[in-house]
Amino acid sequence: MDHKSVWRQVLQPPVVIAALGYFVDIYDLLLFSIVRVPSLKALGLTGDDLLKQGIFLINVQMAGLLVGGILWGVLGDKRGRLSVLFGSILLYSLANLANGFVSTVPEYAMLRFIAGIGLAGELGAGITLVAEILPKQIRGYGTTLVASVGLLGAVLAYVVAAYTDWRIAYGIGGGLGLCLLLLRYSVAESGMFAAAKAKAVERGNFFMLFTRYSTFVSYIRCIFIGLPIWFVIGILVTFSPEFAATLSVPGVVDAGKAVMFCYIGLSLGDLSSGSLSQYLQSRKKVVLIFMGITALAIALYFTVAQTSVTLFYMSCLLLGFSIGYWALFVTIAAEQFGTNIRATVATTVPNVVRATVLPLTFAFELLRVNIGMVASGSVVGALTILIGLLALYNMKETFGRDLDFEE
């Protein structure tokens, strides 16, 4: 199959629109982290309250992501992939529009929770739909395109927030989502799901993942291989100003800019890992390679990056590239399970991994008090990579797997 023929099949409306949907999803998901300080100052908060209420609102959004992950996953298997793509983008777009009009922290919290629920559905449903409509030999290109384009939404969020008021930034995100909603009317449902719907098989039962040992182990493996990804984003990049100060980086490091560089790297990494996976015809080998790059990138972050602000940002770019198996990780989750619970898995797994930032942060803080910031980060990072490698060891290879089966 020549390259023109491959990309002609990949660049079809469902794939392109899923990629644009994830782009808007990432924009809205990260926007609060970027505009946290100016938005809370506008609500009258100062000093320690900026951090305390900021953490509270991020946790509320995370709770919404966990609830939404289960809700949209089950709905995707019961009602169809498109129902999630329509419902999730409508919910988080309206919530983000409303975010631009908040006047109190409780209002802000309620809307971040609702937005979190909406944001949880986009990636899993998009990856599931793309994986089911593309030929098995090239579906990796489709899922890679969705993630690579989508992750650049973080760059737009940073640029918009830098040049506009935070309320306008929320309005732009909500408006983009509603515009994309109109485009989605041209997308057809997965034929594989339609066929499964006609069969007498239970669909979207979240508890099915916990009733059989082999199914549960496969589900946990999918989550654990994603741990290094969220350690890098949730700790090393999120707390980059504090790490830079501890490492005596000569200059001021901006967290928003560190996030932007990380996500540029992440987009490039997803393109590379997806293409390499197609070339090697293996998912597992590429995840193994990128986990190795992650270990190297963490080591450089704690050593070479301390010499200048520029090198520190470049280390964030490398960290982002190293965890650029995000699309591959969600694709593996989708390919491990049958059509009747595929959306449930592909939607819950990335959101559970995002939520692991809570125990990871707790472990990091616990160790930091005793052994310091850099040593604590090194230990927690090494543990996430070790757990990820152990989970990968006996995982089934899913490249080229026929997905037309049920659990």
What letter would DSSP give residue 254?
P
4: confidence class by pLDDT, cuts 50, 70, 90: low
From the CB of residue 276, how many other CB atoms can be counted at a distance below 10 Å? 18
Residue 197 has pLDDT above 80, yes or no: no
Which pair of tokens denotes residue 324?
Answer: 């650029």
* Selection from 361, 273, 259 nearest residue 319 by Cα: 259
Distance between CA atoms of residues 63 and 354, nearest Å: 10
Which pLDDT does position 263 carry in this prediction? Answer: 92
Which pLDDT band holds residue 1 (cuts at 50, 70, 90)?
A: low
pLDDT of 270-296, one tens digit each? 999 999 999 999 999 999 999 999 999
Q: Let me know: does 130 contact 5? Beta carbons within 8 Å.
A: no
Rounded to the nearest angstrom, the gap between the alpha carbon of residue 400 and the centroid of all alpha carbons in its chain is: 24
Average pLDDT estimate for 28-33: 88
Q: Are 320 and 269 in contact (CB under 8 A)?
A: yes
Of all residues in the chain, the percent with pLDDT exceeding 90 is 53
Q: Assign 2 a pLDDT band (cuts: 50, 70, 90).
A: low
Identify the CA nearest to 133 among candidates 177, 93, 191.
191
Task: Say whether pLDDT at 191 is over 80.
Answer: no
Q: Which domains does the chain have, with CATH numbers?
A: 1-184 (1.20.1250.20), 205-407 (1.20.1250.20)
CA–CA separation, 17 and 286 (whole Å)? 26
Among the listed residues 257, 291, 288, the one whose alpha carbon sits nearest the alpha carbon of residue 34 = 257
Please tell me the predicted confidence (pLDDT) of residue 3.
60
Handedness of CA 264, 267, 271, 276 (dihedral sign): positive
Amino acid in the structure at residue 395: M
pLDDT score of 342: 92
Integer CA distances (angstroms), 14 to 24, 81, 186, 197, 260, in order: 15, 11, 8, 20, 27
CA 12 to chain centre: 23
Higher-pLDDT residue of 142, 7: 142
Query: Which residue type sits at 77?
Result: D
Write out the two tokens for 97.
């529009």
Cβ-proximal residues to 166 (8 Å cutoff; 6+ apart), any chain? 35, 38, 39, 42, 100
Confidence tier at 198 by pLDDT (50, 70, 90): confident
d(CA 337, CA 284): 16
* 139 pLDDT above the threshold of 60: yes
- The residue among 251 and 231 whose pLDDT is bigger is 231
Q: Which residue from 124, 187, 192 is spatially nearest to 401, judged by alpha carbons?
A: 192
Rounded to whole angstroms, the Cα distance separating 65 from 72 reads 10
Identify which has the larger pLDDT, 307 or 3.
Answer: 307
Is residue 201 pLDDT above 60, yes or no? yes
**301 pLDDT tier (thresholds 50, 70, 90):** very high
pLDDT at 311: 92
Query: Residues 100-130: pLDDT tens digits?
Result: 999 999 999 999 999 999 999 998 888 998 8
The pLDDT, as a whole number, for residue 381 is 96
pLDDT tens digits, one per residue of 142-189: 988 998 898 889 899 999 998 999 999 999 999 999 998 888 777 777
135: three-class secondary structure by DSSP: coil
Helix spans in 208-325 (H): 208-211, 213-224, 227-231, 240-246, 255-280, 284-301, 309-322
Q: pLDDT tens, 39-65?
A: 999 999 888 788 788 888 888 998 999
Reference 328, options 268, 298, 297, 284; nearest CA is 284
Q: What's CA 244's distance to the chain center, in Å?
A: 25
The pLDDT mean for the chain works out to 90
- For 324-375, how does the pLDDT look when each residue is reduced to its tens digit (9 = 90+)? 999 899 999 999 998 889 999 999 999 999 888 888 988 988 898 899 889 9
What confidence score (pLDDT) does residue 182 get?
Answer: 85
